[in-house]
Structure 1
Amino acid sequence: MLPKQRQDQIVRALKADGAGGVKVLAAQLRVSEATIRRDLEQLHEQGRLTRVYGGALAVDGGDEPFAEVSAVHADEKDRIARRAASLISDGQSVLLDIGTTALRLAQHLHGRSLTVVTSNLAVLEELQNDEQIELIILGGFVRRSYRSLVGYLTEESLRQIHVDWLFLGTSGVRPDGRVMDSTMIEVPVKRAMITAADRVALLADATKFPGHGVAKVCDPSELSVVVTEPGADEATRAQLEEAGVQVVLA
């Protein structure tokens, strides 16, 4: 693989996950950690990412097209989404966060008698013709690059509802179990979603454990369930379980 191709893959992975560690990126791209460090330094100099200790953060405001993000870790996201769908009982109300894993969860809800609330425009497109599902779209400012609704109107809409389940995405889970996000504009909406739900399920593939992020979304005590993979960091999983969180492996 040419250096330019490898560096483009690094940037796409960071846009999808919000952040990435040197070890994780080296394993994903099958190159040495020294190579990844050199790539990160070059990409930082070019302004394509922000270099931090142990890895790098995506540059906020420059999202990749939704379809490209969706293709990253696609199989892992689908397994997590399928397992998450099994937690939902017919007749329940479900709040879906932004992001591509939430979209994959929506794909596993077709034909079920549910109420789905979302600020995710991709979920709207997926479920709008399914007559079994009562679909509620939150208001707000359209963030076209990531196909989501954000802002005061979104947060105010969330204050008017209450649901059985929230399925939440993240940029990363810190070793102490804190849920983080690198996209600052989405964090107030995520916090309002947590307040609006009886139970909160975090959907996160193994690359998010442990992860990075510039803003805290919630403490582990605010989660009910985490749906992830067997490869997720065991120490972080142990911290979540110690906080009373059920960790479900897809």
Structure 2
Amino acid sequence: MLTDSRRSAILHRVQETGSASVSDLARLVQVSESTIRRDLNRLSGQGLLRRVRGGGTGVGAEFAAAAGPEPDDVPFIEVAARSVSSKQRIAARAAALVGEGDVVVLDIGTTTALIARELRGRSITVITASLAVLDELREDPSTELILLGGVLRRSYHSLVGTLTEEALHRLRATICFLGTSGVQPDGTVMDTTGTEVPVKRAILGAAPRAVLVADETKFPGTGILPVCPARDISTLVTSASSEARTLDLFRHTGSDVITV
């Protein structure tokens, strides 16, 4: 099992059960206890769990207050109501980057769901772990739709976990579209959910062209974990009002920046 996938599985077990021992986690992911101890130390350092003697436990309320609300506290339908006009413009422009016959990976999120809507009627293949994308394309006979497996994250209409990641490692696409909870001033693409970050990294590895879609509220936005640096993004599609210095940084690293 890859390192990111293994740590995602560890984090999911601790979040699910409240705590887990080193020996139990070693059996779960089939690695040595010393490897588990290193993983727990790393996850603890990132603030995703608390390292205790013999294992790890979920983070306490003081961390939740410092980090802000967990994504599961903000339902998909609520996020979808934010910056609607900006997201629609971004989605329409992003969809125009897809050519006939392309194999497209769509990340979870409200903007990528709008991209799926724009792609209806196109002779393409779409790979996704987003149930919102599934809803947009399930009745479209032109699109071959591949739904990735995984654990259901109900509040955000997505599938996550090792099954999702391993499927992405086996697939190859021509272009992928990535969402984000926020972009740091140094160009680092961030996310707020530990279980989503390994999936996003696997999406980046599945296609040679990575398109980041982010409206003006994401510059800067929230996020506790880095997904990738700006140099890993081939094209950024964003609002014309997004923070200019960060957009210039993306251009400097070689990304095409499209504003709408």
Q: TM-score, normalised by structure 2?
A: 0.74
Superposed, 1:167-182 pairs within 5 Å as 167-182=177-192
Residue 229 of structure 1 aligns with which residue?
239
Please tell me whether the aligned partners of residues 72 and 156 of structure 2 are also in contact (alpha carbons under 8 angstroms).
no
Please tell me whether the aligned partners of residues 63 and 146 of structure 1 are also in contact (alpha carbons under 8 angstroms).
no
Residue 49 of structure 2 aligns with which residue?
none
Distance 2:172 2:74 in 1: 32
Residue 164 of structure 2 aligns with which residue?
154
Residue 149 of structure 2 aligns with which residue?
139
Residue 125 of structure 2 aligns with which residue?
115
Shift in alpha-carbon separation, 1:79–1:62, aligned structure 2, 3 A? same
- Displacement after TM superposition at 1:61 (Å): 5.2
| Aligned equivalent of 2:104, options 65, 90, 94 | 94
Distance 2:105 2:141 in 1: 18
SS across alignment from 1:177 = coil
SS across alignment from 1:183 = coil
Distance 2:120 2:236 in 1: 23
- Displacement after TM superposition at 1:50 (Å): 3.5
CA deviation string 1:79-117 (max 9, x = no partner): 100000111111101000001101100010111101000
Q: Does 1:125 align with 2:138?
A: no
Percent identical residues: 49
SS across alignment from 1:210 = coil
Please tell me whether the aligned partners of residues 58 and 182 of structure 1 are also in contact (alpha carbons under 8 angstroms).
no
Shift in alpha-carbon separation, 1:175–1:61, aligned structure 2, 3 A? closer
Distance 1:236 1:69 in 2: 23
- Displacement after TM superposition at 1:62 (Å): 3.3
Superposed, 1:1-250 pairs within 5 Å as 50-51=65-66, 57-60=67-70, 62-250=72-260
SS across alignment from 1:75 = helix
By percentage of residues, which structure has more strand? 1
Any gaps of 5 or more consecutive residues in structure 1? 1-45, 52-56
Please tell me whether the aligned partners of residues 71 and 192 of structure 2 are also in contact (alpha carbons under 8 angstroms).
no
Any gaps of 5 or more consecutive residues in structure 2? 1-60
Counterpart residue type for residue 247 of structure 1: V
Shift in alpha-carbon separation, 1:199–1:80, aligned structure 2, 3 A? same
SS across alignment from 2:227 = strand
SS across alignment from 1:237 = helix
Counterpart residue type for residue 203 of structure 1: V
Q: TM-score, normalised by structure 1?
A: 0.77
Please tell me whether the aligned partners of residues 181 and 190 of structure 2 are also in contact (alpha carbons under 8 angstroms).
yes
